[in-house]
């Protein structure tokens, strides 16, 4: 969910039955839930790339972690993260959870989400119930959370209990990634709840122009990373079309504000 509109005078189409609306502008297709809020986007000529800046920031875990065996996506939207991980990280299995069958159908029909295969599973389920399943415990190296309703009133799941369930679903070494609205009333509450669930081991990237802030929370041994090693890793990440050097610069600027981050 992004607070940007950005889908001006292009084509619009929608369904009153599902509340899903599509718009196109400047070669980009946008997903809305019957409102101006952008729930996802895809550049039509580059369907595998990540179009929205905060969504790219949700891949910042790649600075710290090799692609894991399993990546869990909570909230599908236009499927940008699910598609990117499936396409660019062949060693990872991607599980995406979305409670709306209509959103899943739209992602497949209008946003180039491929059908399920050995490495991609899209589950029509409630994200909170899914992550609480005993079968998910310790299973996922990365969990990416982007859970907003059509009213954009903050994440629909944001309790300490929810974030603790996410932590239990992570592998022994893993990263939780959460999209928050930096200017929304829910922001500080979510930061506190994530910090409580992860023993304060979390960092936040700088807000993007629309105000979204991506928070990363870490499970596993304390990070001990040399800045030069992180800089080299940032260059590798850039080869995937991700802003690795910008993430590196942001971390250098925030040195000392992440208690488990040492150089």
Phi-psi region of 229 (alpha: psi -120 to 50; beta: other; left: phi over 0): alpha
- Phi first, then psi, for residue 23 (nearest 5°) are -140, 160
Instruction: Report yes or no: 163 and 195 within 8 Å, Cβ to Cβ.
Output: no
Catalytic residue among 146, 149, 185, 199: 146
> In sequence order, which ranges of the chain are alpha helices (DSSP H)?
53-57, 80-88, 101-110, 127-131, 160-169, 186-197, 227-238, 244-253
Structure tokens given for 31? 């997903």
146 assigned to active site: yes
Angstrom distance (rounded) from CA 27 to CA 50: 14
DSSP, res 245: H
| Residues with active-site annotation | 146
């Amino acid at each position: 969910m992004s607070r940007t509109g950005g889908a001006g005078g292009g084509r619009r189409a929608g369904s009153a039955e599902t509340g899903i609306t599509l718009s196109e502008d400047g070669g980009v297709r946008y997903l809305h839930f019957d409102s101006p809020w952008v729930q996802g986007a895809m550049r039509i000529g580059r369907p595998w790339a990540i179009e929205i800046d905060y969504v790219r920031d949700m891949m910042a875990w790649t600075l710290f972690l090799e692609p894991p065996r399993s990546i869990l996506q909570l909230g599908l939207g236009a499927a940008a993260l699910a598609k990117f991980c499936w396409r660019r990280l062949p060693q990872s299995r991607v599980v995406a959870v979305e409670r709306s069958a209509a959103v899943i159908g739209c992602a497949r029909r209008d946003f180039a989400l491929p059908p399920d295969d050995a490495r991609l599973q899209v589950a029509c389920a409630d994200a909170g119930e899914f992550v609480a399943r005993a079968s998910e415990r310790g299973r996922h190296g990365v969990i990416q959370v982007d859970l907003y309703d059509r009213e954009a009133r903050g994440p629909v799941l944001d309790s300490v209990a929810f974030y603790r369930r996410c932590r239990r679903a992570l592998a022994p070494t893993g990263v939780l990634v959460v999209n928050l609205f930096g200017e929304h009333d829910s922001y500080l509450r979510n930061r506190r709840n994530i910090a409580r669930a992860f023993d304060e081991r979390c960092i936040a990237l700088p807000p993007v122009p629309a105000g979204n802030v991506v928070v990363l929370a870490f499970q596993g041994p304390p990070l001990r990373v040399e800045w030069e090693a992180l800089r080299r890793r940032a260059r590798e990440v850039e080869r995937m079309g991700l802003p690795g050097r910008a993430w590196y610069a942001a971390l250098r600027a925030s040195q000392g504000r992440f208690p488990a981050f040492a150089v």
